[in-house]
Structure 1
Amino acid sequence: MRVSKRLFPAFIPCFIAFLIAGSRVSISAPQGITGRWDLTIGAAGNAYPSWLEITAKDGKLSGRFVGRFGSARPIKKIAFENGRLTFSLPADDEKPERDLSFAATLSPAGDKLTGTTKSEEGAELTWEGVRAPALPKPKGVKWGTPIELFNGKDLTGWKLKDPKEPNGWRAVNRVLENEMPSSDIRTEKEFNDFKLHIEFNCPAKSNSGVYLRGRYEVQVMDSYGQPPESHRLGGLYGFIDPTENAGKPAGEWQTFDITLLGRYVTVVLNGKTIIDDKEIPGITGGALNSREADPGPLVLQGDHGKVSYRNIILTPAVE
């Protein structure tokens, strides 16, 4: 269509104004904030990871949140208007038991959140969120040389997750075990995709966990005979239920064979596949950090109770 020269100068400003207005709408509309977000709460040196997922249905927002500890829980109130996000949810492991409240501003590009919340003591904390990476499962995976992560003699290749916490870990008769009080222990090396073989012995009423890349906890606990659930043995904590409880009675040696590719996980417990190639939505409580795109260590939880591990062998994927 031919445009009149007299109309053209007036047309340009109107068109630009339309584009700007459209951009503002996309930032304020519910779909502008939806998705998964990796959060870092607090100042450097004392920061901790969290996770947020926001969904929209019929123009209404809902979501779930993973805090410093615990598992994913629903958000009670959430609003997004003019690029400003606010949400709140009941406290879980946090103290005092009051609602947690968050506020943040979405960047013009729609890829970053910057905001504030309150600490358990009531002090203001700053926080940032970035969109979680997709982490698709790679195709045509090739496996490298298996790595024996625990030499059976000492803690070579391992260190405390938090050096300020007590170290109850020791090597005894080719077994890596802890005595309470203790803390989490991690490998010095970090990994991307891998297959993991690990054997464990969990006493009655005890509790531990295997953190893949230091971020995704596969639960270890005494739950023999109980219905399968994400917070029990073999579950991806708070996110993925096992299909069955393939656990043995407390005090017996058991085996995990776990494959992690991108954010997809398969868990075999005592020879039975209980999680088959399922997507991990995000980090679990107690994660080392929220940098999901980065490689990470193997972390063994040691602050919840006595536990023993042996024959820890990791086979990395290679390009």
Structure 2
Amino acid sequence: MQKIICQLALAAISLGGFAQNFKVPETTEVWEPKPKLVVPAKTPGGAPSDAVILFDGSGLDAWQQTKDKAPAKWLVKDGAMIAKNGTGELRTKQEFGSFQLHVEFSTPLDSKKMGYPNGGNSGVFLHGKYEIQIFDSYNNEVPIYANGQAGSVYKQVIPMANSMLKPGEWNTYDIFFTAPKFRYNGSVETPAYVTVLMNGVLILNHFEIQGTIQYIGIPSYQYYSGKGPIALQEHGSEVSFRNIWIREL
């Protein structure tokens, strides 16, 4: 709607009055619609007023097991949810389209000892399909291919920077995701895009996601509704998560 209003205003400039219209500021003023009011958080990383709280340390009511939709089995301790080995992936009960997502995570202190492939290995899956990798990539000390380290869209792109903190310290992902759109015949009209900040550092800038993540093979898109859950991976390493919230756009 806002884009259409701006286009109409520009059309009025070009078609009505020509140079005469440029002599008054009202020609380029658009008064409606006004943006909705959102109250920002009072603390860094806190949830704004329109956010959906996915985890605040008090329980796993927003989550379920991905495999069978059973109640979430991860451990909740000291305000964090922990990917206990063997418990499997979690996903949100609610599905989202385009969104802003805030996630805080910490890799375990034994990440270096575990090494590849389990050294702090986890991931945030957008729509349950597109993985923003979590790994102990601090100081590039645990060897892993660059498009599989922390901050990558797994096996699709190398992050522009490595701003990972030490094991045991809390990292933040701020993820801005634009959902894909499909035509009636199932083909892609517009692909998904993602922008990611790690600990306040821009590491992915409007990257065009190539399709569903593949460990082996080439990613591709398959038609779906354009909405999906947030999923957190359990991959043999007890990665911890806290303060997870989302704003659907």
User: Shorter-chain TM-score: what band?
Assistant: 0.5 to 0.7
The count of aligned residue pairs is 176
Match of 1:145 among 35, 46, 50: 50
Q: What does residue range 229-268 of structure 1 map to in structure 2 within 5 Å?
A: 229-262=146-179, 263-268=192-197
Q: How far does residue 151 in structure 1 lie from its aligned partner after superposition?
A: 3.7
Are residues 316 and 238 of structure 1, via their aligned partners in 2, closer, same or farther at CA, if it must alter by over 3 Å?
A: same
Which structure is higher in strand share?
A: 1
Match of 1:310 among 223, 242, 249: 242
Aligned residue for 1:149, secondary structure, equals strand
User: Paired residue for 1:38?
Assistant: none
Check conservation: 1:169, 1:176, Cα contact below 8 A: yes
Are residues 189 and 206 of structure 1, via their aligned partners in 2, closer, same or farther at CA, if it must alter by over 3 Å?
A: same
Check conservation: 1:166, 1:183, Cα contact below 8 A: no
Q: How far does residue 290 in structure 1 lie from its aligned partner after superposition?
A: 4.4
Q: Distance in 2 between matches of 1:147 and 1:249?
A: 29
Q: Deviations over 1:211-258 (max 9, x none)?
A: 011110000010111298220000000101101111111221100000
- The percentage of aligned residue pairs carrying the same residue is 34
Q: What does residue range 273-288 of structure 1 map to in structure 2 within 5 Å?
A: 273-285=202-214
Match for 2:120: what amino acid? S
| 1:187 aligns to 2:92 (yes or no) | yes
User: Paired residue for 1:271?
Assistant: 200
Match for 2:157: what amino acid? I
Q: What does residue range 38-187 of structure 1 map to in structure 2 within 5 Å?
A: 145-163=50-68, 168-187=73-92
Match of 1:209 among 114, 123, 144: 123
Q: Distance in 1 between matches of 2:224 and 2:57?
A: 30
Check conservation: 1:235, 1:241, Cα contact below 8 A: yes
- TM-score normalised by length of structure 1: 0.51
Q: Deviations over 1:56-81 (max 9, x none)?
A: xxxxxxxxxxxxxxxxxxxxxxxxxx
Check conservation: 2:65, 2:73, Cα contact below 8 A: no
Aligned residue for 1:225, secondary structure, equals helix
Match of 1:222 among 118, 125, 136: 136
Are residues 192 and 164 of structure 1, via their aligned partners in 2, closer, same or farther at CA, if it must alter by over 3 Å?
A: closer
Q: How far does residue 275 in structure 1 lie from its aligned partner after superposition?
A: 0.3
Match for 2:229: what amino acid? P
Check conservation: 2:64, 2:72, Cα contact below 8 A: no
Q: Distance in 2 between matches of 1:228 and 1:244?
A: 14
Are residues 158 and 290 of structure 1, via their aligned partners in 2, closer, same or farther at CA, if it must alter by over 3 Å?
A: farther
Aligned residue for 1:196, secondary structure, equals strand
Structure showing greater relative contact order (alpha-carbon pairs closer than 8 Å, 6 or more residues apart): 2
Q: What does residue range 289-300 of structure 1 map to in structure 2 within 5 Å?
A: 290-300=222-232
Q: Distance in 2 between matches of 1:199 and 1:151?
A: 11
Q: Distance in 2 between matches of 1:181 and 1:167?
A: 12
Check conservation: 1:243, 1:274, Cα contact below 8 A: yes
Are residues 283 and 229 of structure 1, via their aligned partners in 2, closer, same or farther at CA, if it must alter by over 3 Å?
A: same
Are residues 164 and 186 of structure 1, via their aligned partners in 2, closer, same or farther at CA, if it must alter by over 3 Å?
A: closer
Q: How far does residue 165 in structure 1 lie from its aligned partner after superposition?
A: 9.2
Match for 2:95: what amino acid? E
Q: Which has the larger radius of gyration?
A: 1
Q: How far does residue 157 in structure 1 lie from its aligned partner after superposition?
A: 1.4
Check conservation: 2:99, 2:248, Cα contact below 8 A: yes
**Unaligned residue ranges in structure 2 (runs of 5+):** 1-34, 39-48, 112-118, 180-191
Check conservation: 2:121, 2:135, Cα contact below 8 A: yes
Match for 1:283: what amino acid? T
Which structure is higher in helix share?
A: 2
Are residues 183 and 290 of structure 1, via their aligned partners in 2, closer, same or farther at CA, if it must alter by over 3 Å?
A: farther
